[in-house]
Structure 1
């Protein structure tokens, strides 16, 4: 209840205002009565303090100090019994009150302090009870509205009607994700929240430009936190404050549901790739598994691996790596880049859409991780080679080897994988010449219109050579019957007019198939 509203009540008509420039818009939250010299230590915000003035009759300095302290603590006012120990409030005290726009009241001399306190407290509590009932009803209405499955925009429009102001919702990048109906988009605001504000470290309400109130929603992680913005310069009264607090609590529950769903999605993704890495699957099975889980198998990816050396042998290493993973998710999310993270051998492996500037990007990422985590020694190994996700084992193998060398050779900057095997060297051949050679050798197979049949023939030929010309092992690797493998190999011989027993012919075929498998994403 505002002080002006309280004083307008008929039963308080005899309470007078002593100073010329009081603040009557202050909220009265509680009533206190004191007859002790150390009362300043117990003043609370919103308190209307009443006193006879006994302890100040010969100590105006103490009264002056109390007025200053009460103003600083945002107390509501002080009421002094008129004609008890003060016939008039000294001018120096009134001047101090006016300076801080603090209110001094003169209480009727013929009414006991206990009666005045009783009546004031009854009036304040009665209004607070009405406010609480109103807030509970509004909160219940909003809760039911949310449970009907409304969109963020609809929920904010409902809140806007309750608070009577525009309401906005931003994410942990400071970007607008929802707004109440008819809210205007202030580009200056979102430029500030997304570029200037250290938003991932905000945990308390914030006032922006005396126009917006920003509230962080409760969250298990600052990196997935969302923020509610009210277009208000200040909160008018305790009812509005309580309603806003309830709204924050309700939306925080919704925010945590969003976080749980996001965490579950990431865990499922990690489990999918952990299974692929730990089991002997053919590329066809890997592709089917990925497609079944809605993961794109046609785009090219690169990979990098991350480890933190300080905690690598400590009990909290897993916790540290999860913290780094969350920061990596946030960092790439800022650029709207969808990445995939999995954990292998207590290290973090990341699949990122192919980019020509991976080393430069990883240097920036490393700086970000060092700045925003407790880690002081973060090593990164990466591969610049591009592969589809069916070759995820190769991507992670190369990134893992680069990370090992970064740690072994004490390289603090991101370390790039260097080719050591024949397949790595073959990838360095000019693409044009590679395509000409591969098409020359495999053209009859490429002419097969059925894509599945064409890939089956190439896969069985590849496995045949990889398994040292063992048909049984090739069939086992592809999860097919041995007779099926024999049939497909004979068909390859027939189409290409070669004999697998002729070393010269098979050498050319083996090289062509190797080059095709390494470069087919670009063919």
Structure 2
């Protein structure tokens, strides 16, 4: 489909140019003719454009040999197409020094027969250029039609790329705006196979920074395609890069692996059309994804807000989005904090949901954490569904069998702990918490499990527990005590149970409160508690005797033990005492 530019050689081959002789500059016959100019005064040279063929009778320089020699040099430097000099009027023959200059600069010097008028020659040249431009336009329209037909037929990205490779006869890659592979098609005659030179994994970056550095990111900075050279198998492969852009938005890049045939003007037209069609395809896919996302978001928003009350209403959309009405679910929440204000001003679970949909300071960071969470959850828990809302990543974990609910609780803790460790490892600067709600028997009850997970996070941060994961069931006692609206009554209970012990620790720099907490955490096993505290068993006995003395209690009386246990929980709710709690205390909540 190649249409060549019109050159001096093409001009001399025309029937209408019979009799015109090339007398000098034979090495420049491939110079491209873009137009014709006629020289009628010496100043004409200053107005000439690149690619113009200059025609003259020689009248203005017939008596000036120096000007004649200088003219050839200046026309060559201006990259003009050639010089046509009419003979048998002011020159019987073309001067030898002009021929020598033409040969020196490989600049075509033509001898025009007397019978040809300069206007006739100009008409011949322009007619030939027009014919080529017409053919180019027809081919361009044909290319446009081929891509339009593919687009109207609903052709996908692969079909568009296949059409392009047929037109330009070179391998082609299409990448997104971050240089990640979207599609590619190899050419059977490619001497440097793409798979041998590049890492061709969809969704993964193809080229290194050395190749892409300096390539404009803004559409306004592009004027034409950019050439890059890729080193493959100790060979340099030329590549042409064309942006895929529309309405000022960058959707990606077309990379032509120019290893089979050199691109011509028509090939660039094809690449331009392909770029436009691919941009439209990317816009269409983006619109589809945004619509899917909006429908999905609306569904989960309504579900978690408790607006869906019928199983039939949730069944169809639920299965589309990966939720099934015949399975129990556990809700797990990863809550991310953008600043210290989030940590100090946590609202109650019932009010938290109204903040959904508002992105915080770093959308890319939240997206990265969301992708990590989704990857881990999907791998570790079959059928897990995750969504991102505001500063929360919410994961729905299906329980395949109701009889496995207890096991599922333990597995959900293991998943949450793994998520915590992996996020901490990859996003060490991020402050976040992980909470788990109790299982719900129906997806219609997911709101409860979700709010429980959020409430578990709130409670864990309120009492400053060091645990990586907070489960709602860990805080049953705390919820009960926290429901007491009269703070003075709660303080009175605290003072009547463990208040004196807290005061004694503060005045004497002792660790009796922590000792009592470990005693409860170890289910009254004195030896185990001593081991946890890294103290001798006799020291543990001494401390317990001291506690009995200060509080005037019997540590073998069940009622008094219950009061002390509740008193320690009240202490944490009131933010009294030291901020540490035994790791195993959550099992006794």
| Global fold match (TM > 0.5) | yes
Q: 2:207 aligns with which of 186, 193, 197?
A: 193
Q: Deviation digits for residues 363-393 of structure 1, max 9, x if unmatched?
A: 8xxxxxxxxxxxxxxxxx8423234798999
Is 1:385 aligned with 2:405?
no
TM-superposed deviation, 1:107: 3.4
Match for residue 244 of structure 1? 271
Q: Deviation digits for residues 492-523 of structure 1, max 9, x if unmatched?
A: xxxxxxxxxxx959959x99xx99xxx99xxx
Match for residue 154 of structure 2? 149
TM-superposed deviation, 1:327: 6.3
Describe the SS at the equivalent of 1:110: coil
Is 1:205 aligned with 2:225?
yes
TM-superposed deviation, 1:68: 1.0
Is 1:159 aligned with 2:167?
no
Describe the SS at the equivalent of 1:5: helix
Describe the SS at the equivalent of 2:116: coil
Are the aligned partners of 1:173 and 1:334 in contact in 2 as well (CA < 8 Å)? Answer: no
Describe the SS at the equivalent of 1:22: helix
**Equivalent residues in 2 for 1:325-336 (5 A)?**
none
Is 1:80 aligned with 2:84?
yes
Q: Deviation digits for residues 77-107 of structure 1, max 9, x if unmatched?
A: 1232242666136256325532xxx544443
Q: In terms of Rg, which structure is larger?
A: 2
Q: Deviation digits for residues 105-149 of structure 1, max 9, x if unmatched?
A: 443343111111111111221232123113212321221122212
Describe the SS at the equivalent of 2:270: helix
Q: Deviation digits for residues 50-90 of structure 1, max 9, x if unmatched?
A: 444555664243542232122xxxx5x12322426661362
Q: Deviation digits for residues 434-482 of structure 1, max 9, x if unmatched?
A: 99x96xx99xxxxxxxxxxxxxxx9xx9987765489xxxxxxxxxxxx
TM-superposed deviation, 1:174: 2.2
Is 1:303 aligned with 2:336?
yes
**Equivalent residues in 2 for 1:380-419 (5 A)?**
382-387=430-435
Q: Which runs of 5+ in 1 are unaligned?
A: 307-320, 344-348, 364-380, 399-418, 443-457, 471-502
Paired with 2:373 and 2:24, the residues of 1 have a C-alpha distance of: 59
Distance 1:15 1:149, change over 3 A: same
Paired with 2:216 and 2:430, the residues of 1 have a C-alpha distance of: 27
Paired with 2:240 and 2:151, the residues of 1 have a C-alpha distance of: 22
Distance 1:362 1:150, change over 3 A: same
TM-superposed deviation, 1:152: 1.9
TM-score between the two structures when normalised by the length of structure 1:
0.56
Distance 1:294 1:331, change over 3 A: same
Is 1:67 aligned with 2:76?
yes
Match for residue 98 of structure 2? 90
Match for residue 107 of structure 1? 112
Paired with 2:361 and 2:47, the residues of 1 have a C-alpha distance of: 45
Match for residue 406 of structure 1? none
Match for residue 423 of structure 1? 461
**Equivalent residues in 2 for 1:14-33 (5 A)?**
14-33=19-38
TM-score between the two structures when normalised by the length of structure 2:
0.51
Are the aligned partners of 1:212 and 1:229 in contact in 2 as well (CA < 8 Å)? Answer: yes
Let me know the Cα RMSD of the aligned residues.
5.6
Describe the SS at the equivalent of 2:27: coil
Q: Which runs of 5+ in 2 are unaligned?
A: 200-204, 230-236, 324-329, 340-357, 376-385, 395-417, 438-446, 487-561, 574-580
Match for residue 413 of structure 2? none
Paired with 1:335 and 1:13, the residues of 2 have a C-alpha distance of: 74
Match for residue 555 of structure 2? none
Paired residues in the alignment total: 393
Distance 1:392 1:56, change over 3 A: farther
Paired with 2:72 and 2:60, the residues of 1 have a C-alpha distance of: 8
Describe the SS at the equivalent of 1:218: strand
Are the aligned partners of 1:19 and 1:97 in contact in 2 as well (CA < 8 Å)? Answer: no
Are the aligned partners of 1:303 and 1:396 in contact in 2 as well (CA < 8 Å)? Answer: no
Describe the SS at the equivalent of 2:274: helix
Match for residue 294 of structure 1? 321
Describe the SS at the equivalent of 1:214: strand
Match for residue 373 of structure 1? none
Distance 1:137 1:383, change over 3 A: same
